[in-house]
Chain A
Amino acid sequence: MADVVDKVEPVVSVRDLRTYFIHKAEEVRAVDGIDLDVYRGQIVCIVGESGSGKSMTALSLMRLVPKPRGKIVSGKIMFHGVDIMQLSEAEMTKLRGNEISMIFQEPMTALNPVLTIGDQIAEVLVHHRRVGKRETTAKAVEMLQFVGVPRAEQVLREYPHQLSGGMRQRVMIAMAMICEPKVLIADEPTTALDVTIQTQVLQLMRKMRDDFGTSIILITHDLGVVADMADQVIVMYAGQVVESANADALFEEPLHPYTIALLKSVPTIDQETEVLYYIPGSVPDATEFPTGCRFADRCPLAMASCFETAPEVREVRPGHLVRCHLVD
């Protein structure tokens, strides 16, 4: 797995990204200072619960934050050495779907219901590659076959509602991959799918990485998917990264109390427990984060200092970053 990853220079490098939603006097700090490096052929999983800011991080990378309330207020997003925050909207359009692609949780809402599959795939190619009709069709068929869509020629003439959920997700992946982007951002790509279909789609994404060297940013709430797919893991809580490490290290020895608690509260089929571990309380309100650690009031190990000062991210071991006073 690791031999595909080329660690010379990151393909995507994010520093201190902040995305806020501003409405009247209220400021929702959805993403509040994220650092992220993704190397060629690497699968980076961003994991967190609802409201952690993981999806907004993904949309920020594409510069697709919902306007007018949402705004990237600061930070650098470097893609191959270019700061995409400095690009014009026209330059950004050239990048999206071509160099960086995205797939979403619900393929039915992401695909256009009144266009055939063929037309939707063609749109991407015509926009970015200016190729002829015959070539477009040939390329679309080839791509659909690659992602495992049976009777590809026929599917080109069909509409999204005629396909099953798993097939739609394959079509989305085919559309996202047809220009062979360097980075694929996948936001909960298998959450709406059945388990046997999830297995197929995850296997397909791994094949994309192996065959094309695509870097994948996989956003999920499912720690099982993370354990299965990730090279590198980023755990988010309340808009911040609380832990970041190589996947083996993170599952072997998680260090942040939130990561530990999250791992403990997942029921698994390999264990027998009477009472499940759970995290009391709920995620803090993003309009008024506490002054101290954002996890302190739910943390079983919280100390007095946790409520007073916010912890900084520290490199506890080479490549293993933790935001917690306990490791200071």
Chain B
Amino acid sequence: MAEVLLEVEGLKKYFPIQSGLLRRTVGHVKAVDDVSFQLNYGETLGIVGESGCGKSTTGRMLMRVMEPTAGRIVFDGQDLTKLRGKQLKAVRRNFQMVFQDPYASLNPRMSIQDIISEPLVVNGIVTAKQSEPIVVQLLETVGLRARDRFRYPHEFSGGQRQRIGIARALSLHPKLIVADEAVSALDVSIQAQILNLMVSLKSEFNLSYIFISHNLAVVKHISDRIAVMYLGHIVELATKDEFYNHPLHPYSEALLSSVLTPSRKVRRERIILTGDVPNPANPPRGCPFHTRCPKVMQECRVTRPVLRDIRAGHSIACHLHA
């Protein structure tokens, strides 16, 4: 049995909707609503879903840059939601983030040397002067040159900037990296370079990844297990093979059928969903997906299905498979 690195239980994030002169709370946007999962050492969990499903909010709560409304985040045996101040800072170096936009996530006024060494200096591991050989080594690890450390972000292409972001995330030798749409802004030929880099770094540094993306093909390439989110809930959670070969939730089926493949031979039967994702401030009663589900039943409109194991390594939240 693999060892658990991260355990998330009943994680919730509600944003208040305020209105009127007194800014009274009139309702809540339930961005993440009761999300639970585990991540083992050395594992990659892909979180997929469409805009507004809560995947990025989940990632931010795991990083402890956003306070959860409720729930537990147990990382390496410690409940992160209970830690504050110095204690939190001490564990923080174990989990790092790689962001989507390589143009916005690097300070344009800092040299690459300063960007990559900042986490080391802030955490008091080395002084700025001592950090130079470490930065050189990190640059070489991510496929850049030692002399690049004297340059500034604007001198680099999108793919190179993403390499810099990865080098910065690696500087503290974290156990977990949360990558939020880390390759979505890149051209396909560059995207492939960064994905290959992330796969090779994983074994080199004994990393675990949470890989958040809307791209099901990219997620398949990098993940061991997949979680599908819809309106703040996980609706399906399965190993990669189970998910891509036997998706069970009607939403997962529709998502997979919408993926376009660069081939004229592979023609999937499209499941075209009608309408849009409902407003998360006013989610439907019962199953969150029932308003668009092609297989909706009476029960779906009344009670929300809970995530349960259907077979080994495969759980879904759907009344069809109750």
Question: Are A265 and B259 interface neighbours, CB within 8 A?
Answer: no
B244 close to chain A: CB less than 8 A: yes
Question: Are A50 and B187 interface neighbours, CB within 8 A?
Answer: yes
Question: Are B51 and A262 interface neighbours, CB within 8 A?
Answer: no
The distance from the CB of A171 to the nearest CB of chain B, in whole angstroms, is 13
B262 to chain A: closest residue by CB: A223
Residues of B contacting A221 with CB < 8 Å?
Answer: 187-188
The distance from the CB of A95 to the nearest CB of chain B, in whole angstroms, is 32
- Kindly identify, within residues 236 to 265 of chain B, every residue whose CB is under 8 Å from any CB belonging to chain A: 244, 254-256, 258-265
Question: Are B217 and A267 interface neighbours, CB within 8 A?
Answer: yes
B199 close to chain A: CB less than 8 A: yes
- Kindly identify, within residues 7 to 66 of chain B, every residue whose CB is under 8 Å from any CB belonging to chain A: 50-51
Residues of B contacting A273 with CB < 8 Å?
Answer: 221
The distance from the CB of A189 to the nearest CB of chain B, in whole angstroms, is 14
With known contacts A248-B264, A269-B216, A276-B221, A196–B50 Cβ distance under 8 A: yes
Residues of B contacting A269 with CB < 8 Å?
Answer: 216-217, 220, 244, 256, 259, 261
- Kindly identify, within residues 146 to 163 of chain B, every residue whose CB is under 8 Å from any CB belonging to chain A: 157-159
Selected interface stretch from A58-66, A97-105, A120-128, A197-205: A197-205
The distance from the CB of B163 to the nearest CB of chain A, in whole angstroms, is 12
In the complex, A252 Cα to B261 Cα: how many Å? Answer: 14
Residues of A contacting B51 with CB < 8 Å?
Answer: 165, 194
Q: How many residues of A contact B (CB 8 A)?
A: 44
In the complex, A282 Cα to B196 Cα: how many Å? Answer: 16
The 8 A CB mask of A254-272 against B (1 = contact, 0 = none) is 0000000111011111100
The distance from the CB of B294 to the nearest CB of chain A, in whole angstroms, is 12
Question: Are A227 and B270 interface neighbours, CB within 8 A?
Answer: no
With known contacts A267-B221, A278-B189, A282-B190, A195–B262 Cβ distance under 8 A: no
Select which of A167, A195, A199, A270 is within 8 A of B261 by beta carbon. Answer: A270
- Kindly identify, within residues 13 to 66 of chain A, every residue whose CB is under 8 Å from any CB belonging to chain B: 49-50
The distance from the CB of B236 to the nearest CB of chain A, in whole angstroms, is 15
Question: Are A265 and B50 interface neighbours, CB within 8 A?
Answer: no
Question: Are B261 and A268 interface neighbours, CB within 8 A?
Answer: yes
B204 close to chain A: CB less than 8 A: no
In the complex, A263 Cα to B254 Cα: how many Å? Answer: 25
Residues of A contacting B216 with CB < 8 Å?
Answer: 195, 269
B125 close to chain A: CB less than 8 A: no
The 8 A CB mask of B209-240 against A (1 = contact, 0 = none) is 00000101110110000000000000000000
With known contacts A197-B276, A265-B188, A224–B261 Cβ distance under 8 A: yes
With known contacts A50-B187, A196-B273, A267–B254 Cβ distance under 8 A: no
A199-B273, A267-B192 given; 20 more Cβ-contact pairs under 8 Å: A49-B187, A164-B276, A194-B51, A195-B214, A195-B216, A196-B258, A196-B273, A199-B272, A227-B261, A252-B264, A261-B189, A265-B191, A266-B192, A267-B191, A269-B216, A269-B220, A270-B261, A270-B266, A275-B199, A276-B192
List the interface of chain A (C-beta within 8 A of B): 49-50, 150, 164-167, 194-200, 203, 221-228, 247-248, 251-252, 261-263, 265-270, 273, 275-280, 282
Q: List 13 A-B contacts (CB under 8 A).
A: A49-B188, A164-B277, A194-B51, A194-B277, A195-B214, A221-B188, A223-B188, A224-B259, A226-B262, A248-B264, A269-B216, A270-B261, A282-B157
List the interface of chain B (C-beta within 8 A of A): 50-51, 157-159, 187-193, 195-196, 199, 214, 216-218, 220-221, 244, 254-256, 258-266, 270, 272-273, 275-277
